Chains A and B, each alone.
Chain A
Amino acid sequence: MTLADGLKAAALLFVAAIVQVSIFTQVDIFGGVPQLVLVILVGVALLRGSVAGATAGFFAGLVVDTATLGTMGLTSLVLTVSGYCIGRYGETTGRDRAHAPFLSVAVVTILYSFGVLVVHFMLGERAPAGAVMRGILPTIVLNLILTGPAYWLVRRLLRPREHADFATEVQLLG
């Protein structure tokens, strides 16, 4: 990932985090809340791999936790793991598939929701599993609606890598 790509991804995630905490948290449709940060993170991780995904998730989480004066590190922890998993999927099986962003968003929405729930539970805080379960389907639908335009925007800013870029090791045979 080049410095320019890093700056573009950082700016995009920063704006997404601000929009998320200021605007999207008010949008409650059948218990679901669209998660723009997650959708943008999926785009970055799919196009730039696991290391970029994990790093982007960490810093996006820091911005969210700072802006909401929440428990520092909580969102970072879950987004870091989410970004890494999606990045690995992008580096391996998902890189050429048109449905990859949509599948990734659906899966990572579930992982993220349960991840946050588990961390809250382990901290001994309120962890309403029923409310999370009820809201998860509408949230997935809302995130999938966002995926098309968000992924298009991320692709415009971060050029998809060539196949050769994914090769990290060369084994000489013969």
Chain B
Amino acid sequence: MIRRAVLAILVIVALALLTISFRSPTSGVLHDAQGYGASALRPFQVAAERVARPFRDAYNYVNSLSNAKSENKKLEKMVRDYRAQALLNSAAVQQNKNLQSLLNYETGPTYPQDFRAVNASVVSFPSGPFAEQLVIDAGTNQGIHRNTPVVSADGLVGQVTNPGRSTSVVTLLTDPDSAVSARDLKTHVSGLIRHGQGGTLILDRVAKNQVVNKGDWIVTRGTVDRRYPDEYPYGIPIGRVIAVGTSDIASFLTVQVQPLAQFDSLDSVAALIPTKRARSHP
């Protein structure tokens, strides 16, 4: 009798918490209490992560030795290509600046100049097939808010969907609910970045008459209409096109994108806080 009563009470309390949390996932007393609890637990999580890090690094080191030689050759070739490209780009950037100053061209915050990076370590990782999210070691105390873009050294990771006081939940680009407005850097074709198969992404909503080539870089599109400002500034690298396909019955191209960010081995990320207030947008 007593055990059934205990079970019933615990189940009712759990259901009550579930209902309250589900109805107001990002605000309210329970959310605040959860934020305080997460802040209290953070030192333990950081400690556990630090204890595990040497073992993970050792595994990654051994794992990477096997293909280091071939990768080195490939990287040397890439460095040569990029060096030549960087020279051309720097000239173009200078020319762009000059033209913008001549036209008195006003823009919203541009990436990365007009953003302050809040660097944060990852304290919890995606758990199972239910969530493509991670928890970072920074929250509203550091200026993070809902929809703040989050990047890694490689490229766009996702955005903050549940900010706490000192920790925040980041929803990754690989989450089925995630959609980012993006464009092809070379052909200027726009689409929506969504999750794809096997850890890849899809550039969706690209009309069949548009041109996207294999190897093209995909970046965030930024704000197009000032009435509907995009949370992501223009130009955050997302990935590279690895396949373009089409079929007679499909309305859009199938553009498969390999993300630059390594979602399964993120140690630290940066949340982008704009330092410039948007006035008008290109």
Contact = CB atoms under 8 A, between A and B. Distances in A.
Q: Which of A68, A80, A87 has the most CB of B within 10 A?
A: A68
Contacts of A28: 264
Q: Which of B10, B126, B131, B264 has the most CB of A within 10 A?
A: B10
A18 B125 CA distance: 12
Contacts of A58: 10, 13-14
A21 B167 contact: no
A73 B128 contact: no
Interface stretch (A123-131, A144-152, A157-165): A123-131
Interface string A24-60: 0110100001000000000000000111001101100
A156 to B, nearest CB: 21
B179 interface: no
Contacts of A22: 44-45, 48-49, 52, 123-124
Contacts of A92: none
Nearest to A78: B14
Contacts of B45: 18, 21-22, 67
Contacts of A111: none
Contacts of B162: 69
B3 interface: yes
Interface string A54-93: 1101100101011111111110110011001001000000
Contact of A80 (B14, B35, B41): B14
Interface string B31-42: 000110110010
Given A18-B45, A21-B45, A22-B49, A71 B22 contact: yes
Interface residues on B, range: 35 or more
B14 A69 contact: no
A50 B135 contact: no
B34 A126 contact: no
B30 A72 contact: yes
B48 A77 contact: no
Contact of A33 (B51, B56, B123, B128): B128
Lowest 4 CB-CB distances: which A-B pairs, in order?
A: A73-B17, A131-B129, A73-B18, A72-B21
Interface of A: 18-19, 21-23, 25-26, 28, 33, 49-51, 54-55, 57-58, 61, 63, 65-74, 76-77, 80-81, 84, 87, 116, 119-120, 123, 125-128, 131-132, 135
